[in-house]
């Protein structure tokens, strides 16, 4: 299955010449999801050659402008492009009212339906689910109600070895399902085949965790445990820890501590304050605690793979 993320915006509240406000596209088996939608997101989608009409689910972490000011523009553009398919928007309870006011004030009549889903800032919930994957929201600790998101594949059953299927006996369909679930198999002649001998481990279920604006918040560890990739805000360095705490933001070191405690595969730092012209020091601060750390960069696609940790 394909599983990747494309970073559209990695700046904090103030965009820079090379970094847009927060936005990330997640591709799970060619289903596309947008996380946060700062100003200019639709332009970044075009630059990244991602077809915005393929996005059917948008997740907004909270109602600070750098995380959703681009949403009504994207909604309007989708309408101008002739969209007919339903668009699902997940976010805080006031988001629907904000979007509807803008659409009504501009007398915008959409040719497609928007379904708003209110997220819960107080506890973790599965907010989207199919047979193959799911999205879970979970609480963060910011100055206003904020949620993070976990995108995860569902664990597949064990795989039956091809050699077993070519033996001189037929395996009933109902037994194949039981074998995939972990059962042994006994032939009509009474011969026992242990499950461990006739099956293989399935591919590891992959997951991506997104922690947008939040101060250092250790309870988040239980929600993102063992994620393959964690994107975590790192607005400040540790020498500005007091400011970070006051503004309910994380430092690069704080993000690294969360990654270490959660035993994630890789840490991507993002949401950088515009005060930092050179981000190397933030990277080194995080790497001192969690070596497998890298800096987010707008336009970069990162592939999730159980055995591969390289960028496309």
Q: How far is CA 115 from CA 5, 88, 123, 300, in A?
A: 24, 5, 22, 30
Contacts 24+ apart (CB under 8 A), 273-279: 273/12, 273/235, 273/236, 274/11, 274/12, 274/13, 274/14, 274/15, 274/16, 276/237
Q: Report the 10 Å Cβ neighbour count for 56.
A: 13
How far apart (Å, rounded) are the C-alpha atoms in residues 96 and 98? 5
- Residue 174: CA atoms inside 13 Å, Cβ hemisphere, count? 1
Catalytic option among 66, 168, 184, 197: 66
Q: Which residue has the tokens 């990695």?
A: 10
Question: Are the C-beta atoms of 112 and 79 separated by less than 8 Å?
Answer: yes
Active-site annotation holds for 239:
no
The pair of structure tokens assigned to 199 is 């099956």
Cross-strand partners of 273: none
Question: Are the C-beta atoms of 221 and 138 separated by less than 8 Å?
Answer: no
Residue 61 sits at the vertex; the CA angle it makes with 60 and 65, to the nearest 5 degrees, is 75
Per-position b or e across 102-114, b if 16+ CB within 10 A of its CB: ebeeeeeeeeeeb
How far apart (Å, rounded) are the C-alpha atoms in residues 210 and 12? 15
Q: What contacts 47, CB < 8 A, 6 or more positions away?
A: 299
Active site residues: 66
């Amino acid at each position: 299955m394909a599983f990747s993320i494309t970073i559209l915006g990695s700046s904090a509240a103030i965009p820079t010449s090379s970094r847009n406000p927060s936005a990330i596209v997640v591709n799970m088996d060619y289903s596309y999801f947008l996380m946060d939608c700062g100003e200019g997101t639709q332009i970044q989608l075009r630059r990244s050659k991602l077809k915005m009409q393929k996005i059917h689910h948008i997740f907004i972490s909270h109602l600070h402008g750098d995380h959703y000011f681009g949403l009504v523009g994207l909604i309007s553009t989708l309408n101008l492009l002739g969209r007919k398919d339903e668009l699902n928007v997940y976010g805080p309870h006031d988001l629907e009212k904000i979007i509807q006011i803008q659409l009504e004030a501009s007398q915008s009549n959409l040719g497609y339906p928007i379904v708003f889903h209110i997220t819960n800032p107080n506890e973790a919930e599965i907010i989207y689910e199919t047979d193959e994957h799911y999205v879970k929201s979970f609480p963060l600790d910011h100055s206003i109600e904020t949620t993070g998101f976990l995108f995860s594949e569902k664990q597949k059953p064990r795989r039956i070895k091809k050699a077993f299927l070519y033996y001189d006996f037929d395996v009933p369909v109902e037994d194949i399902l039981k074998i995939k679930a972990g059962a042994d198999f006994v032939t009509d002649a009474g011969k026992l085949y242990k499950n461990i001998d006739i099956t293989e481990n399935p591919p590891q279920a992959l997951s991506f965790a997104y922690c947008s604006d939040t101060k250092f918040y250790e309870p988040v560890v239980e929600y993102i445990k063992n994620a393959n990739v964690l994107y975590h805000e790192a607005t400040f360095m540790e020498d500005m820890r007091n400011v970070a705490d006051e503004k309910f933001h994380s430092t690069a070191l704080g993000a690294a501590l969360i990654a270490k405690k959660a035993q994630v595969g890789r840490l991507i730092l993002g949401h950088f304050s515009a005060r930092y012209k050179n981000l190397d020091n933030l990277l080194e601060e995080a790497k001192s605690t969690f070596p497998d750390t890298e800096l987010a960069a707008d336009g970069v696609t990162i592939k999730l793979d159980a055995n591969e940790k390289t960028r496309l």
